[in-house]
Amino acid sequence: MQYLDNLTEMIGRASDDRTPAHEMLAQHEVGRFLKQQGYRYYHIGAWFEATASLPIADENLSFDTTSEFESVLRDTTIMPAIERVLDVETPETTFRDRHREGTLFAFRQLHRLATAPGPKFVFAHVLLPHDPYVFRADGTVIPEDEAKREEEKDLYRAHLAFTNTNIKSIVDDLLSGPDDEDPIVIVQADEGPLFCRSIDCPEESEEYAAIRFGVLNAMYLPGIDERLPDTFTTVNTFRTIFREYFGADLENLPDHSYSWPDNDHIYDFHDMTDLLEQRDPP
């Protein structure tokens, strides 16, 4: 909690300025530590600006570094219409196209890097099952007009099925070699569905807590999997890895979960742990 307190003190609670948080990502401690241990850092970004490309990485791999804001802004201007009139060929110009092709690019790079030589840390921010919904469950493209007619729950389910198939395939590649060469594998979600787009969120409801904080955290940690407690949360993922595999002197942080009330108060951290613990397990 100390780093949250320091961040809040530096910026103030009533702030929508994400710059300090983005700067922490740009030079994050995980990347620093592993590079010091001789690992090459490959970063696979996407359209989310904060993780699209990081200066700390040895190699940034990205289909398109155009941010979500830039993509949406361009799609709302007259430029696409002008290009159609002038018959200008501009493949992959829409945000939906970039979302689709960027996702497929990330999956290809993960398969490729599975056989790359030498010690390496590979981070990929794959923006699925995030909208816009562009994939059917079998990976075929769903046109925008068709997606608009579908129920979101069905679109989300298809995206999730497509995601699961591809992640399982990548994990199979990573674990296809000799057992004594198995890598550490982390498949971790950053958040649950947005639920209410951060506007007037029913923050104190158990339903909100379960949906927003019920994230996937699947890890393959050779030799130490069975020693992880049932209460393990994502805040201690790398602390555990660095302590167990590299001998780092790092204690676990409290297994707490935090939220904020709205996008104008993103550093006004609310501890949600008690509310989450009140909910009966499924």
Q: Per-residue pLDDT averaged across 199-207, rounded? A: 62
Residues 6+ apart with CB under 8 A from 50: 18, 21, 22, 25
Whether residue 111 lies inside any domain: the answer is: yes
Predicted confidence at residue 245, as pLDDT, reads 95
Predicted confidence at residue 243, as pLDDT, reads 95
The answer to whether residue 70 scores a pLDDT higher than 70 is no
The answer to whether residue 209 scores a pLDDT higher than 60 is yes
Q: Which of 11-25, 29-43, 48-62, 117-131 has the lowest mean pLDDT?
A: 11-25
Predicted confidence at residue 133, as pLDDT, reads 94
**CA 270, CA 248: separation in Å to the nearest integer?**
30
Whether residue 161 lies inside any domain: the answer is: yes
Whether residue 236 lies inside any domain: the answer is: yes
Number of structural domains found in the chain: 1
Average per-residue pLDDT for the chain? 83
Whether residue 93 lies inside any domain: the answer is: no
Instruction: Note down the domain range covering 238.
Output: 2-67+99-278
Predicted confidence at residue 5, as pLDDT, reads 59
**CA 7, CA 23: separation in Å to the nearest integer?**
12
**CA 156, CA 82: separation in Å to the nearest integer?**
33
pLDDT grade, residue 69 (50/70/90)? very low
Q: What CATH number is associated with residue 152? A: 3.40.720
pLDDT grade, residue 96 (50/70/90)? very high
Whether residue 117 lies inside any domain: the answer is: yes
Is the CB of residue 272 less than 8 Å from the CB of residue 200? no
Whether residue 220 lies inside any domain: the answer is: yes
The answer to whether residue 126 scores a pLDDT higher than 80 is yes
- Express as a percent the part of the chain with pLDDT over 90: 48
Q: Per-residue pLDDT averaged across 235-255, rounded? A: 94
User: What is the identity of the amino acid at 45?
Assistant: G
Whether residue 85 lies inside any domain: the answer is: no
Q: Global pTM?
A: 0.82
**CA 122, CA 116: separation in Å to the nearest integer?**
11
Q: Per-residue pLDDT averaged across 157-167, rounded? A: 96
Is the CB of residue 43 less than 8 Å from the CB of residue 123? yes
270-271 and 258-259 as β-strands: parallel, antiparallel, unpaired? antiparallel
Dihedral, CA of residue 256, residue 13, residue 4 and residue 36, to nearest 10: 130
**CA 281, CA 135: separation in Å to the nearest integer?**
31
The answer to whether residue 77 scores a pLDDT higher than 80 is no
DSSP, collapsed to helix, strand or coil, labels residue 258 as strand
Whether residue 112 lies inside any domain: the answer is: yes
Is the CB of residue 171 less than 8 Å from the CB of residue 220? yes
Q: What angle do CA 223, 225, 229 make, to 5 degrees?
A: 135
Candidates 34, 55, 30; CA nearest to 45 is: 55
